[in-house]
Structure 1
Amino acid sequence: MHLKTDRLIIRDFDKKDAAGLYEILEHPPVHCFLSEKLDSLDEAEKEVERRCKEGEDFAVCLSDTDSIIGDLFAIKEEPDTYSVGWNFNLKYGKRGYATEAAKALIDYFFNNGARRIYAYAEDDNIPSQKLCERLGMRKEGLFMEFISFVNNPDGTPHYENTYQYAILKREWIEP
């Protein structure tokens, strides 16, 4: 994939993205990315290598420098539905990059056979909830104690409430 927006390039991962991905995932800002936490540049290089092969993850880069500031993922569920998500370097927050990148990704998939796109956001991840809403996605439901990314102090799983947002192609095209 290779998409361009006014300020961004959304493309497949490249070996040169390891340092930027490490900066993003060294200290994941929300629990849902803790499983992707990277502890070294060597781990980041291996993760980039994996992402290059799988084709579900995309680097979000500044168009003037091609330096990575975030990543998007899109996982196809047959026949025509995609689960999408995003993670951005907090240094680039509050500038509209996530909205710009996610719009381009959703537009790409709706123009290439997708009928439905959905995303999850934990109930304490307000920035992702707001992004879903800016994208025109509707809140379809709240899964109570849906998933656990961390443990409570006593070692038991801490289950998180998770919202599901979605949008159909017809809603995207005719808002």
Structure 2
Amino acid sequence: MLEYSANPRVNCFLSERVSTLNDAINSAKEKSQDDSHIAVCLKDNGDLIGELFFLKEEPDTYSVGWNFNQNYEGKGYASESAEALLHYLFTQKEARRIYAYVEDNNYRSQKLCEKLGMRKEGCFLEFISFTNYDDGTPKYENTLQYALLKKEWLKTMNI
């Protein structure tokens, strides 16, 4: 966890930045108590390589996200685990709609959303600020929203 949380590549994870092994251990313990955070580990050795998370919006909509160690990019781990998360939310949690916010310069997450069958619904200009410019003023980011309805997902799964 320390490997990918010490220097977040995406600004939305700046608030979760950890700088010591102790911080990472405490963060992992905290997240392990929260069913909406899911660790992604390698099968062969159990190494933590990333995490998935979701947030329910009543009555049946879920926001999803992920954070992965860049050393494991391009190997299919993110798509395999995110696909399992969508399956879980649609089949076990009875989600009707799932969406994800992605910064406009986070091309890997955009590609992942598209691979998952999510459609780009729009771009929120200067939507949110996670960091500041050198002069202290907020740096607002453009944010894309991707979404998928259960009925769309069922079609792609041929169910």
Calculate percent identity across the aligned residue pairs: 57
The CA distance in 2 between the partners of 1:77 and 1:49, in whole Å, is 25
Residue 128 (structure 2) pairs with residue 147 (structure 1) = yes
Does 2:103 correspond to 1:122? yes
Counterparts of 2:109 and 2:4 in 1: how far apart (Å)? Answer: 16
The reply to whether residue 131 of structure 1 matches residue 116 of structure 2 is no
SS class of match (1:171): helix
- Count of residue pairs the alignment pairs up: 155
Choose which of 14, 35, 53 in structure 2 pairs with 1:55: 35
Please state how far the C-alpha of 1:67 moved relative to its aligned partner. 1.3
Superposed CA deviations along residues 82-127 of structure 1, whole A, max 9, x for unmatched, are 1100111011011111111100110111111111100010001111
**2-side partners of 1:82 and 1:169: how far apart?**
11
> Scaled by the length of structure 2, what TM-score is found?
0.94
Task: Find the aligned partners of 2:44 and 2:29 in 1 and give their Cα distance.
Answer: 24
Map 1:10-159 onto structure 2 (within 5 A): 21-112=1-92, 113-159=94-140
Gaps of 5+ in 2: none
Q: Distance in 1 between matches of 2:149 and 2:127?
A: 24
Query: 1:54 deviation in Å?
Result: 2.1
SS at match of 1:104: helix
Write the distance in 2 (CA, Å) between the matches of 1:50 and 1:65.
22
Read off the aligned partner of 1:66 and give its amino acid letter.
Answer: G
Q: Deviations over 1:27-74 (max 9, x none)?
A: 111111111110111111111121122221110011111211110001
The TM-score normalised by the length of structure 1 is 0.86
